[in-house]
Amino acid sequence: MTDAEVRVDVVIPVYNEAHVLADSVRALRDYLARTMPYSWHVVIADNASIDGTQEVGEALDAEYEDVRYLRLEQKGRGRALKQAWQSSDSDVVSYMDVDLSTNLDAFLPLVSSIVHGGYDVAIGSRLSREAAVTRQWKREFISRGYNLMIKFMFPRRSFSDAQCGFKAVSRRAADALLPIIENNEWFFDSELLLRAEEHGYRVAEVPVEWIEDLDTRVRIVQTALEDIRGLLRVRFTSPVPVKAVTRRDDVAAG
């Protein structure tokens, strides 16, 4: 398969983001058009927004052939990603936060680690030595504390940053893992990585440049409690078997 034949979906999960959605999608399209050797589509996954996000998303869908708007009537970032990824037939599915807080220059290395590097999952890392991060000390402390908790509870895990909103997954890994991921909210990212390594999928980390969005929708205390409950559930339950799913050959299948 040539690079031009590889298909990549770039999902942007959104909730009440009408004020930034159009500018972010246009900036993302410009980057992809300039840099990506692969075929790509942008998917706006709207999880039950109640502002003008739907109108903006539908207008972008109508304006650009390479943009698709997907509406869900239930909230949950994990739920939005599951729906978008499971309804896709692309070779690589990915996502990034709508604020584009992660520098887009890391996106091509992220996807290429799957297409050419033999990895099944690729994640942006704000905690690697090569990363450049600008954020408040409170968020930095919570992030490092959470990832230390993962390291303590899952000492064999290979990844350093579970929560960065910048990830890509091969088709075969997505088909196998998404049905066994229970969380539909913020813990989705962590459960994806833990289940991936549990079943032998290789995880690549790409250092990123990341600037905190002060207009974030994340509720820190609520999300932290959700994450702790999720970690305990995954740690103290038996591994969940995956079912083989047959689709067209995946780029990471070798």
Q: What is the tens place of the pLDDT at every residue in 189-202?
A: 999 999 999 999 99
pLDDT band at 160 (very low <50, low <70, confident <90, very high): confident
pLDDT, average across residues 221-236: 87
Tell me the CATH number for domain 3-235. Answer: 3.90.550.10
Q: pLDDT tens digits for 135-148?
A: 676 777 777 788 88
pTM of the entire predicted model: 0.90
DSSP secondary structure letters along 130-186: T-EEE--HHHHHHHHHHHHHHHHH-TT---S-S--SEEEEEHHHHHHHGGG----ST
Reply yes or no on whether 89 is catalytic.
no
Helix, strand or coil for residue 187?
coil
Model pLDDT, residue 131: 92
- Please tell me the chain's helix, strand, coil percentages from 3-state DSSP, rounded to the nearest 5: 40, 20, 40
| Pair type for strands 92-96 and 39-47 | unpaired
Model pLDDT, residue 87: 96
Model pLDDT, residue 128: 85
Please answer whether residues 46 and 69 qualify as being in contact, where contact means their C-beta atoms are separated by less than 8 angstroms: yes
Please tell me the distance from the alpha carbon of residue 46 to that of residue 73, in angstroms, as a whole number. Answer: 8
Active-site pick, 189, 213, 215, 227? 189
